[in-house]
Structure 1
C-alpha cells in the first residue's frame, strides 16, 4: 500500500494490470531506484526497467492514457472551482464580501492542489490548461472585488404582498442551479401556483416586460442581499414563516453561498442530485422543473 501511494503521488500510470509506467527523466530514474530500495528494505521485491517503446502501442496512445488519468485527477478541482464561481457570482449579485476570508482560503487551497496535479501532468493535457485558466480568472475576480469593496451599505428588504405577484412571468439566468431551482419552487408553492418561468441574459434585466419579474440575477427585483441568497430573500420579503422552508433555506444557503454558515449534512447529496439534473436535462425549462420536483420532495420529507 505504501509503494502504491508513492507511485500514485508521483503520477505513475497503472498499465495493463501488471506494471506502472512513468515518462523517463533523471528524477524519475532516481525515484524508482529509491522505491526499489525501499521495497527490498521492507522484505519485498521490486524491479524497474527503461524501455524505448511499447511494441503494441504508439507513443500517442500512451500519452493519451496519461492525459485521461490527469483528467480524473482534475475533476475534484473542477468541482471546487464550480462552488467558488457560484459564491463569487453571489457576491456580484449583491452579497457582502465581508467575513469571507474562507473564500480566499478555499481558492488558495485549490490552487495548491492544482499545482500538485500539474507537476505530474507530464504531457500538459488540455484539461489542465482549462482548469488553470479558470483558476486564474477566479483569482483575478476575487482580487478585483476585494479592492472594490468599501463597506457599501446593504439595502433593506422591502416587504411584499403575495396578491401583487399573481399571473407573472418570472425570469432568471440561463442554466439554472440550486438557488434558482429552489426559488422557482418557492414561487410556485407559496406565491403563485400558476407562475410561469423564462430565461434571460443579465443585460436584458433593464428591458423586461410589464408582467415580468426577474430573480436571482444582477439587478433583479429579488436577488442576493448581504449574506442572504435569493431563496432567503424571498422568504423574508413575503414573510413566509413555515419551519420546513427555513430548513430548506439552510441547505440552499450552504450550497449557494459556500460560507459554512450552516452545517447541513444532507446538502452534499442534494447538490449531487441537482448536478445530475443539470447535466441530463434537455433544456433550461426541463432542468428547472425537475429541480423544483426535488425541492417539493425535500419539503415533504421535513413534515
Structure 2
C-alpha cells in the first residue's frame, strides 16, 4: 500500500530575496524535500497539512502564489524512491552533526590515551549543543533513516564516555531495594518550597508507589521530629535523598525498581534541572523549569505548588507514553 504525500508548490517575487529564503527555511525546517524546482513533498499528516495550509496563505500575503495537494500515488515515481529521497536529505543533514561528533570523539580518545586535557564542562557543553541539533533533525527524520539510528548510538556512547571520564557513577551499591507495599498510606515529608526534584518525586510516589500518599512540608532542621509513619525525602538524612550522582527522583526509581522508558526520559530532565551538572541535555528542561517557576510564583502555599506541579509531570509523562 502506497503512502500518502503532500505536494507543495509556490512562486514568489524575485525581490526581495529574503522572502524566497524565508519560505525555503520554513519548508526545510518542516522536513519538506525538494522534488523539482519549487515543488516540495512531505509525508501526509494532519500537522503537515495544517502547516502547508498556513504557509500557502503566507506566500499569497507576500504577493506570491502557492498551493498544495494530497497525493495518493505518483504514476512514474515509486513510493520507495520518495522515501529514499527524504532519507537522503536527512543523511545530508546528519553529516553536519557527524563532523562535529568526529572531533568530540577524537578529544575523548585523546583524554583516554593521556594525550589530551579533559575539560568536562567544555566537552559536555559541546556534546549538549550537538545533541540539540541532532534532536532537531531527528524530529523530521520521518522514516527513521539508518544514518539517524547510527548517529544516535554514537552520541549516546560519547555521552557515556564523558560521564565515565568525569567520574560520574550511579553508585547503585548504596541503593537498597524497597517494596511499595511497605510504604502504603504513609505521609511523605520534605522541605518547604518544593521545586523540580521534590515535585517530580512526589508525583512519582503518588502515581507508582502509593496513590493514597499524603505530603507535608517542614524546615530542614525539623527533620528529627518526624513521626514513625513519616517518610523523609529530598531532605538531609532523609530515607530517600540524593545518593552518589543521583537526584531523589532517580533514587526512588532505583529503590522501587520502577522501569519505564518514559520515566527514564523524565529522570534525565529532573536530574539536569536539579543538579545542573551537564550529564544530560534534554531539550524540554528549560521549558519545564519555567513552567514550575510560574507555578511557584502564582500559588498560595506549598500544597498548591505541589498539586499543580504534579499535574505538569503527569502531562509530561502522558506525552512520553
Could you state the TM-score of these two structures normalised by the residue count of structure 2? 0.47
Which fold has the larger relative contact order, with Cα–Cα distance below 8 Å and residues 6 or more apart in sequence? 1
Could you state the TM-score of these two structures normalised by the residue count of structure 1? 0.50
Richer in strand (by share): 2
